[in-house]
Structure 1
Amino acid sequence: MHGYLKIIPYIYLAAGVFFIYSGFVRYNQGEEGFWIWFVIAALSIFMFFFRMRFAKKFTQNRNDKP
């Protein structure tokens, strides 16, 4: 169960990279709603850092208890 929890933040990071790429492709094609892809990318990258910080805090709290 804990193995996949270490992978989840990197999935968010990969999704962020994908959405940035997709946003640039849509921008270059002249589509109007390209900015929403950048918003989703920003949320994905935020979630990556949030999950990494949460995992670090959770591990420290678990190791600090006697």
Structure 2
Amino acid sequence: MLRELPVALYCGAFAGMTSPLVAGSYSFIILAGLMSGIILAISKTSFHGFGGKLGTIAFGGVCCVSLIIYILN
């Protein structure tokens, strides 16, 4: 499990690079990081050998959280 921790942290770092115009608070970044981690866990066995997997997953996490917040407001 500790072998895969740096990959998850790196993916969360990509989610943390969200523009302040999109992410209005630290709670948004935390939720986006958690959502990216969930997506990473789900897609663990797919997309082997494809570049940009972690960045795409982080983008998906930010988009999902943005959509959820938009729907709730």
TM-score range, shorter chain: 0.3 to 0.5
TM-score, with structure 1 as normaliser = 0.38
Higher normalized helix content (fraction of residues): 1
TM-score, with structure 2 as normaliser = 0.35
Could you say which structure has the larger radius of gyration? 1
